[in-house]
Structure 1
């Protein structure tokens, strides 16, 4: 079986994977932007001066991110080892501008303990804030380190999985967003002098999602996005003294996100509308200040300047890789820092397509949101062939962002369906709760509903494949084993083949929080067995292309190995690619260039005619 696309297809896939995508990480007081792109093979740091000058800063073995140290020409760099997610922290000194990107050996170690993770959470003029699981390899403590003395204070060691932290304006307290043990739920608490009582701002037993965006002026309240008592997340002010919350911005039909300015005087509010984000700047009390009008419909991440005068957006849309835009916080005026579209050759831009949006009916009366990408030009032999591309998570979502794999599949001639099956976020609390624990297989059933809908698009149901990574990889394996008559092939990337062995072998700091979603080993083993693809291997007959990172801390390599062993024993065509320097997914360009063209070639050989 051929596993390489035709020369033209291979060139197209390679060119799409080579496109430079930017991401903004921070802005300093002089207007410099700390950004990243993967020209060196994985995401590395680049500094962009106000005049547009770009200075490459790092050349590390693995991808990295960073934050400026306010008031100094220094950057805290976060990096791991071959994708193992055991984040380490180092200091990059920019007092003397680098003549070339710095290597790992040229950085000053801040936290180097390869057996544990140290996640960069916040940087202030006086403090470095990070979370770490070094105490017991499971629970994530929140630690504040002083820059002047190097002394450390553990401000939270109550257990749990920390998702984010924000330091108060006076620098004395930290607001922590953590996962709770309820499915698709989080909790917010405060550590430090500003904490009232046990520090909890939200109810840990409530089935609700909260995220602390920042502190209100005066540090007497937090600004949260929360769906407590409502279907969609709203922007609320939560006083620390236990007084009733105040709703600042709400929308009865869409989830809202919020990023307060550093001084708390303004709020950037994002409204999630069918996979895209619509932005506006609001006053601290919720009143609209100005809309932010972008020239593309997609997703955006916000990074505020320290003086709250402006912010930088990382903007991505289906046909435009990640670009950097600057926004005046007073007026909403938008200017370009880096437009990644300038790096897209005209002939490549011609094959990029925008999706159409649909709602796909299911037998039980639900409607699955789905984006459909149709080829810009027909490819002989692949007319009518389709690929269903399932996102990871399960508490994740497919959005209107640039995805080179989706565009590569479409450019090679496949129609690509990108659904938000039940359990996806961005469509309200009810929808993301419809796959919890004993409802897991209802999400898998959505795949069958999508397959039944293919003729509505003029597609051939006999020539449809599944593609997905992480939880999406689980869905690939679940679909091909539990619905063997529907799917002609699958591409499984770091997917779960057994929910039992996954939970037994995943990193300790993740186990409890995966059990809240899938079910526990102690109480729900029968359900976990029934929902595991390996349980249904006797029905599998679709060829599979399997991709995995050897250092994956989330879904161990053993999950891929056991499914491949079963394929081999049954004589089913398959291919396994394992990358020794990768973790949960492919972070390095060379590995993506090796794996994805081969996977697309695998599908082309099977679905073409």
Structure 2
């Protein structure tokens, strides 16, 4: 378990004109910036107290660094000058502050040779404005202040306009606007139940390329005119299609998404196919184009690859492996990692729940074999967060470690998950919330049909997945033997009352509004069913969590202690919404897995 959890994790953030990649890994304990040269040589760039990300400044040997404090998500933006190498990773005092406002969230979205484009909620703590900052003079201009929760922004080629994507108050939906110095114009309908993600600006700046499920079941790639017109570029009738447009608007990487994995191809800007990219099905963590459109970088993961970084020639599709993620896996474990099978699990109301099944891994030494024998037939359901999210075919140290311990690991996309069409993602909205919880029972009923012991099955999940763990244990107490809840919601009412102000309305759109749906929110809250909750529980939470406050964990812990139910709570003072630091993962996850071994073992623990 510890060997898997100690494997280096990679990310990629940008690629410059010389083919250097701004990447990240957690060698120093949390995700820090690393530069990867075209020949694969790596140089550590930062050693900050908390995780960070970044972007190159085009035409300069400089990096804009985005960093927070202990997982609080109050992002700050600083400059790292690479002109004169330090000879060591930069610490916080080696950086030059650019946007320094530790009381607010400042998110880096785009960079040009002259300007930084970022969002900030400094105006009223709730709404996010888009600001353009001159990198030389420091002069700032607010170009968008129409309110709302911004999730993306990109600047036009003439640098006179920005495209802004923000959440709408319709579940699983977004709005796209274009803003300039004096006005902003909404390009999409605020009432339409559709989500749109901007891939980039067309070369003439007269339209945007977006991935959208506008007027159709699945996401496709569209040209969205500045007059609000729509033109289809690449679509499919049975799966999602997304794209990332090159910076010059000449070509795009198109991703066909089926059952949690993507195949990639390069298309011309008008949608015409240019060349396939021979990567096989992967989960692309990021795709970023070079400024001249000649190449792009992909950070990709699979269930057996914790993250490789590849440079792709945009004209030929030729792939150059810069970082092989599998090299950090100990050789004795590399061939034992499990690739899942894909299933559709029937529900009593006629639906089919997509699910990945990681079979128990082949045994290694005798101690592994003994553990596997004790765990045979036991299973763990891992439920993703969101809820408007998706379990994908990626590397997870937890999934693989559970499989190596002899458990069958089931990773479902219960109703409400994205990636399976607009209808599926809407099937858990507000009063339909408990239909999603009912999918857990359907999966439990399915276990014996594949030879698994239904009396030895546990739930594991984080964030919304943590809510699902608590809801399953509380509302289906006869089914589940144990649970692991990570930054989960124990009461939808107290969660909505106490989450960060900038998130509240956009969580209410999914779960229900406090002033309209309080009775149902109480009905759907695990804490309401406390008297029925008897399964042992392991709870993990970050003290600085701005999304699901620590109080959600504290109240379920206190309530179960009063009942005499076995409940262990681990609180990490330097973490936020999840565990970003390797040391904390190594402290928490092996013990959580051992907790399940004890409670699910066929030999009684």
TM-score (normalizing by structure 1): 0.96
1:517 aligns with 2:517: no
Q: Which residue of 2 aligns with 1:274?
A: 259
Other-structure match for 2:226: 240
CA distances 1:125-165 after superposition (whole Å, capped 9, x unpaired): 11101000011111111000012221100011111000001
Task: Say yes or no: does 1:249 pair with 2:234.
Answer: yes
The residue correspondences of 1:329-408 to structure 2 (distance < 5 A) are 329-377=314-362, 379-408=372-401
In 1: Cα distance, 2:59 partner to 2:7 partner: 34
Contact 2:20 2:35 in 1 (8 A): yes
How many residues are treated as equivalent by the alignment? 594
Q: Does 1:77 align with 2:65?
A: yes
In 2: Cα distance, 1:98 partner to 1:446 partner: 54
Task: Report the 3-state secondary structure (helix = DSSP H, G, I; strand = E; otherwise coil) of the residue aligned with 1:224.
Answer: strand
What is the 5 A alignment of 1:169-568? 169-192=157-180, 198-242=184-228, 244-295=229-280, 297-377=282-362, 379-568=372-561
CA distance in 2, matches of 1:573, 1:20: 34
Distance 2:578 2:227 in 1: 43
Deviation at 1:300, TM superposition (A): 4.7
Contact 1:217 1:263 in 2 (8 A): yes
Q: Distance in 2 between matches of 1:180 and 1:171?
A: 26
Q: 1:518, 1:188 → 2: CA distance?
A: 23
Alignment RMSD: 1.1
How far 1:51 moved relative to its partner? 2.6
In structure 2, do the counterparts of structure 1 residues 289 and 561 end up closer, same or farther at CA, with 3 Å as the change threshold? Answer: same
Deviation of 1:75 after TM superposition, in Å, equals 0.5
Moved segments of 4+, more than 4 Å? none
1:299–1:399 CA contact under 8 A, matched in 2: no
Unaligned 5+ residue runs, structure 1? 1-12
Residue deviations 1:565-597 (CA, integer Å, cap 9, x gap): 111011011211000000000000000000000
How far does the alpha carbon of each residue in 1:485-542 deviate from its partner, in whole angstroms, 9 at most, with x for none?
0000000000000000000000000000000000000000001000000000010000
Contact 2:246–2:293, Cα closer than 8 Å, also in 1: yes
Match of 1:112 in 2: 100
SS at match of 1:137: coil
Give the aligned partner of residue 147 of structure 1: 135
Q: Deviations over 1:282-321 (max 9, x none)?
A: 1111110011111554445211111110001101000111
Q: Where does the alignment leave 5 or more consecutive residues of structure 2 unmatched?
A: 364-371
Distance 1:388 1:533 in 2: 18
Q: Distance in 2 between matches of 1:497 and 1:292?
A: 44
- Are residues 118 and 300 of structure 1, via their aligned partners in 2, closer, same or farther at CA, if it must alter by over 3 Å? closer
Q: Structure 2: how far apart are the matches of 1:189 and 1:22?
A: 33
Query: Higher RCO, 1 or 2 (CA under 8 Å, sep at least 6)?
Result: 1
The whole-number CA distance in structure 2 between the counterparts of 1:117 and 1:256 is 31
Offset of residue 444 of structure 1: 0.3
- Equivalent-residue separation in structure 2 for 1:105 and 1:146 (angstroms): 22
Deviation at 1:193, TM superposition (A): 6.5
> Would the aligned equivalents of 2:75 and 2:104 in 1 still touch at CA under 8 Å?
yes
Label 1:194 to 1:455 Cα distance change in 2 as closer, same or farther (>3 A): farther
> Could you tell me which residue of structure 2 aligns to residue 35 of structure 1?
23
1:8 is matched with: none
Query: If the length of structure 2 is used for normalisation, what is the TM-score?
Result: 0.97
Q: List per-residue Cα deviations over 1:397-435 (Å, max 9, x = no partner).
A: 000000111001111111000000000000000000000
Q: Measured at CA, do residues 439 and 492 of structure 1 come closer, stay the same or move farther in structure 2, by a change above 3 Å? A: same
CA, structure 1 residues 514+131, in 2 after alignment: closer, same or farther (shift >3 Å)? same
Conserved 8 A contact 2:165-2:175: yes
Deviation at 1:241, TM superposition (A): 2.4
